[in-house]
C-alpha cells in the first residue's frame, strides 16, 4: 500500500464518477441480470467495504419490499439459497478468499451468481454467471476507496432499475461535483478537521443507519492507511454503545449529518463539551463543520461524504511516511 498513490486515487474521484455517470446514461449495467422487484431473492456477500456497501443496499431494497439480505462472506450462517436466488458477490479485487469460499457454499444450490468487481480478469469474474464491473479504474494505493463509492452507485442503479425509477446518472454527476468541491477546498477544511477528529484516544464516527457505510468506511480508511484507532457506529445506537466513552477519554466524534437521533448525542456531548466534527450539516456545538456542494441531498451524502475522512487519512499517512 502506498500513501501518495492513495491520495492520487482520491483525487481521481470526480473524473471516474463522471465516467460512471456517462456509462449509466448509455446502458443499465444490471440489464443482463434482469431482476424483478417482486420475484427477486437477493443475497449479497462480501468483506470489509464491500460488505458495508452491500448492507446499505440490501436494507434499502428491503425497505422497498424487495427480499434482500447482506451477509459477511466469512459468516458460518449464510442464508439458505435455491435456484431462484441471485447471489450478488462483491469484491473490488475479485480475490477475497472469504467471498470466493461463500460462493462455494451458496452456489451449489443452483443459485445464480452476479459478481460485482473492479478486476474483470479476477477469480470472482471467472466464477460469476454475470459480471457487473465497478468501473472505478485501478486503485494504485492498494486501498478500496473509489471502488467502494462506485459499488454504492451501482447498487443505487440496481435499486432504481428494480423499482422503476430513472437510473441515477444525475446523482452520480452530483456526487462527482461534491467530491470535486471537497478536493478543491481541502486546504480550507482539512487541517481543522484533522486537529479535531484525530485524538490520543482515537476517532469515533457516527452516521444514520441508512448511511452506516459512511461511518464504517471512514473508520476503515483511518485504520488501513495511517493505522489510527477508529470505530464507526450508528447515530441512534451511539447513545447505547459509544456514549460510555465520553466521560473518561479524550473522545472525538465525527458526525455524518441527517440523523433523527442527534438529540441523543447532544444530551451527553453538550454538557461534556465533547469535540465534535459535523459533516454535511450545521451543528452549533461542533468544533468544525464541513459542508460541501450538494450535501442537502441524502444520496449525494451517501456517495460523497467518506471523502472527508479518506483525505484526512491520506494526509496523515503521507505525513508519517
Ligand X SMILES: O=P(O)(O)OC[C@H]1O[C@](O)(CO)[C@@H](O)[C@@H]1O
State the residues that interact with ligand X by CB under 6 A. 46-50, 91-93, 96, 99, 143-144, 224
In angstroms, give the least distance from the CB of 108 to ligand X.
21
Nearest CA to 56 out of 280, 216, 294, 169 is that of: 216
State the nearest-atom distance from the C-beta of 289 to ligand X, in Å.
28
- DSSP type of residue 57: H
150 vs 252, beta carbon nearer ligand X: 150
**Shortest distance, position 47 Cβ to ligand X, whole Å:** 4
Q: Measure the CA–CA gap between 12 and 308, rounded to whole angstroms.
A: 14
CB nearer to ligand X: give 96 or 275: 96
Query: Could you tell me the smallest distance in angstroms from the CB atom of residue 143 to ligand X?
Result: 6
Residue for grid cell 471537497:
182
Bridge-based pairing of strands 252-256 and 230-234 is unpaired
Closest contact distance (angstroms) between CB of 129 and ligand X is: 19
87/144 with CB nearer ligand X: 144
Contact criterion met (CB below 8 Å) for 166 and 156: no
How many residues are given for the chain? Answer: 321
List CB contacts of 299: < 8 A, sequence separation 6 or more: 156, 168, 171
Min CB(79)–ligand X separation in Å = 19
Q: Which C-beta is closer to ligand X: that of 50 or that of 107?
A: 50
Which lies closer to ligand X via its Cβ, residue 49 or residue 259? 49
Burial of 271 (0-12, 13-18, 19+ CB in 10 A): exposed
With CB atoms as reference, the residue minimizing the distance to ligand X is 48
Strand partners, 44: 70, 88
| Of 196 and 220, CB closest to ligand X | 220
Amino acid at each position: 500500500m502506498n500513501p501518495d498513490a492513495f491520495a492520487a486515487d482520491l483525487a481521481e474521484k470526480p473524473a471516474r464518477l463522471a465516467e460512471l455517470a456517462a456509462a449509466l446514461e448509455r446502458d443499465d449495467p444490471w440489464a443482463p441480470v434482469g431482476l424483478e422487484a417482486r420475484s427477486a431473492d437477493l443475497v449479497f456477500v462480501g468483506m470489509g467495504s464491500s460488505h458495508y456497501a452491500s448492507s446499505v443496499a440490501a436494507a434499502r431494497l428491503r425497505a422497498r419490499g424487495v427480499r434482500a439480505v447482506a451477509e459477511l462472506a466469512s459468516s458460518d450462517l449464510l442464508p439458505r439459497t435455491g435456484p431462484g436466488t441471485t447471489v450478488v458477490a462483491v469484491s473490488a479485487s475479485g480475490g477475497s478468499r472469504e467471498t470466493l469460499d461463500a460462493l462455494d457454499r451458496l452456489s451449489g444450490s443452483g443459485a445464480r451468481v452476479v459478481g460485482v468487481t473492479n478486476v474483470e480478469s479476477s477469480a470472482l469474474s471467472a466464477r460469476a454467471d454475470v459480471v457487473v464491473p465497478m468501473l472505478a479504474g485501478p486503485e494504485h494505493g492498494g486501498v478500496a476507496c473509489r471502488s467502494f463509492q462506485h459499488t454504492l452507485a451501482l447498487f443505487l442503479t440496481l435499486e432504481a432499475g428494480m423499482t422503476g425509477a430513472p437510473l441515477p446518472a444525475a446523482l452520480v454527476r452530483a456526487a462527482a461535483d461534491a467530491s470535486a468541491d471537497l478536493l478543491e477546498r481541502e486546504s480550507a477544511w482539512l487541517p481543522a478537521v484533522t486537529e479535531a477528529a484525530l485524538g490520543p484516544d482515537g476517532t469515533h464516527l457516527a452516521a444514520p443507519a441508512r448511511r452506516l457505510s459512511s461511518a464504517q468506511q471512514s473508520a476503515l480508511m483511518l485504520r488501513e492507511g495511517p493505522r489510527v484507532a477508529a470505530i464507526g457506529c450508528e447515530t441512534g445506537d451511539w447513545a447505547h454503545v459509544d456514549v460510555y466513552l465520553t466521560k473518561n477519554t479524550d473522545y472525538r466524534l465525527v458526525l455524518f449529518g441527517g440523523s433523527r437521533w442527534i438529540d441523543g448525542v447532544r444530551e451527553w456531548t453538550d454538557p461534556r463539551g465533547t469535540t465534535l466534527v459535523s459533516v454535511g450539516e450545521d451543528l452549533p456545538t461542533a468544533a468544525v463543520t464541513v459542508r460541501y456542494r450538494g450535501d442537502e441531498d441524502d444520496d449525494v451524502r451517501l456517495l460523497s461524504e467518506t471523502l472527508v475522512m479518506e483525505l484526512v487519512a491520506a494526509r496523515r499517512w503521507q505525513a508519517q511516511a
